[in-house]
Amino acid sequence: MAHSAPAKQKVVIVGAGPVGSLAALYAAARGDEVEVYELRGDLRDPATIPLNFTKSINLALSERGITAMKQSHRDELIDRVLADSIPMSGRMIHGRTDGKLWEAAQAYDVHGRAINAVDRGTLNNAFLDELEQTPNVQLFFNHKLVGADFRNNRAWFERRSPGASPYDKATEVEVSFDLLIGADGAHSASRYHMMKFARVDYSQEYIDTLWCEFRIPPSSDQQEFRISPNHLHIWPGKEHMFIAIPSADRSFTCTLFAPADHYGSLSAASHPEKALIEFFDTNFPGVCPDLITPEALHEQFTANQHLPLISLKCNPHHYDASVVVVGDAAHAVLPFYGQGLNAGLEDIRTLFEILDRYGVYDDSNGPTSPESRRDARRRALQAYTDQRAADTHAINDLSKQNFLEMRWGVKSPLYRLRKSVEETLTRYVPELGWQTQYTRVSFSNQRYSEVVQAVRRQGQLLGMGLGAAALLASVTTVLVGVLCWRRRPTTAGMVSPWAALRNVWREVRRTLL
């Protein structure tokens, strides 16, 4: 007797950014009827204003994000995105010593692997073009999620016509679904409505740092990059830093990160342009006027918004069998590890792997009833939260820690020593499986929580090794001293060398035990 095909699920996705778009491709590939609702207008339209009022922020695409995209089996999509990306093989640290400018490259990886600078608009356009060609996906722009009932699987959206006045009455649309995936960013409406049903532990933090965007144009004569295009450029400072990421048009998208009071004092100065130029000359030597003219620097500082940085955690990431939040809606992270996009895309790969594992799409044993499928989905979403919450909390913490490393640690001799030792172990003793934290995060698909554990173990071993080396050096020094003492007559009042050695050993035992 032939089995009938299982009823298709209806999946509603809120948010048409890269994470929501990838979720739509995964669901569509499994036969779901997919509807994508986006608050803004079509992101491919140059007139559409991004929610943060900036258009040129570059993104870092690394192994996790690429792996997640590959598993959508859309080769043309991946080729298009990577063709327009720029590989960055490491950091380029900038500074000035004794009046002379210098720069020092720090490779990300001993094997020469690179992360990819990707334009946000290029990425969005590639995804939306792909979705538009997928027959079981529908796109709805200018739709705002205003209500949801996750017990009865209903959602309500306000639909506004493009260009409509805020005072015009919006049309409300009711939508039913089997599963709603919230991919609508840090200020997620999906999460807000989910928290009315689920007991969600939620924390949100704004760090005392604002960011402002700048631009280094290409050279005026040859239209070439003004500085190396294959590095992420950093001008570090104790409290602030300036970074530059290459763009396909041979410019650099730059970001100033600084405490809020720095922005306030610069804006309130009696001569703001002069104060800004002096601030840059003191803290970010070589930027102005060499790369950005004083006029352009002041214009961009004044015109571009000074925006906050938010990080958030929540647990669980789902409610029952009906809703799950992904990407920044579940775990907005600070940008200092370049993992916001990658973690969000990895969410989708992980989510659908678990849905597959729990048989949500498995019809090999006959027809799947809506009830059995809902039960499988409920168990799968719980498993997803159990696994993913730990990982997203881990990358949230790692991103905070990397801010300190980027703005100050990269210049520290201790940081350079540890990096050198770890890279030497990776290169020459590969059987140890030793990898730097950055390599594990950016060039592998190892779970973030496992990265933290592995790096902690490596740190303990490295500390023990360096401690043993220091102890050996100390003991050697003492023994050499003993030999020298034995050749000299003992002077009254001097401590016997053997007594000194016993004291040293006693102190070592006390420290170790």
pLDDT of amino acid 1:
40
- DSSP assignment string, 230-264: TEEEEEE-SS-EEEEEE-TTS-EEEEEEE-HHHHH
DSSP 8-state assignment for residue 225: -
pLDDT of amino acid 149:
98
Q: Is the dihedral of CA 340, 344, 346, 347 positive or negative?
A: positive
- Whether the Cβ atoms of residue 324 and residue 384 lie closer than 8 Å to each other: yes
The burial of 336, by beta-carbon neighbours within 10 Å (0-12 exposed, 13-18 middle, 19 or more buried), is given as: buried
Cβ-count burial 72-111 (b if 16+ within 10 Å, e if not): bebeebeebbeebbbebbbbbbbbeeeeeeeeeebebbbe
What number of other Cβ atoms are within 10 A of residue 183's Cβ? 30
pLDDT of amino acid 465:
61
41: tokens are: 């207008």
- Whether the Cβ atoms of residue 94 and residue 285 lie closer than 8 Å to each other: yes
325: tokens are: 């939040």
| Greatest Cα-to-Cα distance within the chain, rounded to the nearest angstrom | 106
List pLDDT tens digits, range 356-407. 999 999 766 545 688 899 999 999 999 999 999 999 999 999 999 888 777 6
In whole angstroms, give the CA distance from residue 364 to residue 354: 17
70: tokens are: 């590959």
pLDDT of amino acid 99:
92
pLDDT of amino acid 370:
86
What number of other Cβ atoms are within 10 A of residue 301's Cβ? 21
pLDDT of amino acid 394:
96
In whole angstroms, give the CA distance from residue 351 to residue 345: 10
Q: Please tell me whether residue 74 adopts helix, strand or coil conformation.
A: coil
For residue 87, whether the previous peptide bond is cis, meaning omega lies within 30 degrees of 0, is no
Rg (CA), the chain: 28
118: tokens are: 């990707």
What is the amino acid identity at position 346? E
Residue ranges per structural domain of the chain = 10-86+118-203+311-403, 206-307, 432-512
pLDDT of amino acid 437:
87
193: tokens are: 């409505």
Binning the chain into helix, strand and coil, the percentages to the nearest 5 are: 45, 20, 35
Alpha carbon 356 to chain centroid distance?
26
Mean pLDDT by groups of 10 residues along the chain of 513 residues: 60 97 97 96 78 62 97 93 94 94 92 93 93 96 97 95 72 96 97 97 94 93 90 91 93 95 93 95 95 96 94 97 97 93 98 96 68 94 98 95 73 68 74 83 95 87 61 53 53 53 52 42
pLDDT of amino acid 473:
53
pLDDT of amino acid 499:
59
pLDDT of amino acid 160:
83
- Whether the Cβ atoms of residue 455 and residue 440 lie closer than 8 Å to each other: yes
Alpha carbon 235 to chain centroid distance?
20
Q: Please tell me whether residue 61 adopts helix, strand or coil conformation.
A: strand
CA angle 122, 439, 416 (to 5 degrees): 115
pLDDT of amino acid 411:
63
Residue 16 has, within 13 A of its CA and on its CB side, a CA count of 31
List pLDDT tens digits, range 425-457. 777 777 677 788 899 999 999 999 999 998 888
505: tokens are: 């050993």
Class of domain 10-86+118-203+311-403: alpha beta
Under 8 Å CB-to-CB from 185, ≥6 apart: which residues?
Answer: 15, 17, 51, 327, 328, 329, 332
